[in-house]
Amino acid sequence: MKITAADVVVTSPGRNFVTLRITTEDGLTGLGDATLNGRELAVEAYLREHVAPLLLGRDAHAIEDTWQYLYRGAYWRRGPVTMAAVAAVDTALWDIKGKAAGMPVYQLLGGACRTGALAYGHASGRDIPELLDSVRAHLADGFRAVRIQSGIPGLDSVYGVAASAAGEGERYDYEPARRTRAAHPRPTEETWDTRAYLRHMPTVFEAVRHTFGPELPLLHDGHHRMTPIQAARLGKDLEPYDLFWLEDATPGEDQRALRLIREHTTTPLAIGEVFNSVHDYTTLLQERLIDYVRSAVTHTGGITAVRKLLDMAAVHGVKSGMHGPTDISPVGMAAALHLDLAVHNFGIQEYMRHAPETLEVFRTSYRFEDGLLHPGDAPGLGVELDDEAASRFPYEPAYLPVNRLRDGTVHDW
Q: Which is nearer to Mg ion, 33 or 273 (CB)?
A: 273
Rounded (10°) angle between helices 194-212 and 128-140: 50
How many amino acids of this chain bind ligand GCO (CB under 6 A)?
A: 10
Q: Name which of 99 and 223 has its Cβ closer to ligand GCO.
A: 223
Of the residues 223, 299, 323, 338, only one is catalytic, namely 223
How far CA 132 is from CA of 194, 204, 221, 241, 249, in Å, comes to 23, 10, 17, 15, 23
- Closest alpha carbon to 2 in 21, 20, 28, 31: 28
Binding to ligand GCO by CB under 6 A, coded x per residue (else -) over 23-42, reads: --------------x-----
Q: Is 350 in the site for Mg ion (CB under 5 A)?
A: no
- Which range in 149-157, 182-190, 218-226, 363-371 contacts Mg ion by CB under 5 A? 218-226
Judged by CB under 6 A, does residue 163 bind ligand GCO?
no
Indicate which of ligand GCO, Mg ion, none lies near residue 103 (CB less than 5 to 8 Å, by partner kind): none
Residue 327 binding ligand GCO, by CB under 6 A = yes
Judged by beta carbon, residue 273 or residue 340, the one nearer Mg ion is 273
Interactions with Mg ion, residue window 283-322 (CB under 5 A): none
Task: Give me the least distance between CB of 33 and Mg ion, in Å please.
Answer: 17
Of positions 400, 401, 404, 411, contacts ligand GCO by CB under 6 A: 400
Q: Residue 325, interface with ligand GCO (CB under 6 A)?
A: yes
Is residue 221 involved in binding Mg ion (CB under 5 A)?
Answer: yes
Query: Would you say 109 or 261 has its CB closer to ligand GCO?
Result: 261
Does residue 273 interact with ligand GCO by CB under 6 A?
Answer: yes
Question: Looking only at residues 260 through 279 of this chain, which bind Mg ion when binding is defined by CB under 5 A?
Answer: 273
Residue 159 is a catalytic residue: yes
Q: Would you count residue 149 as binding ligand GCO (CB under 6 A)? A: no
Residues that bind ligand GCO (CB under 6 A): 37, 176, 221, 223, 273, 323, 325, 327, 350, 400
Binding site for Mg ion (CB under 5 A): 221, 273
Catalytic residues: 159, 223
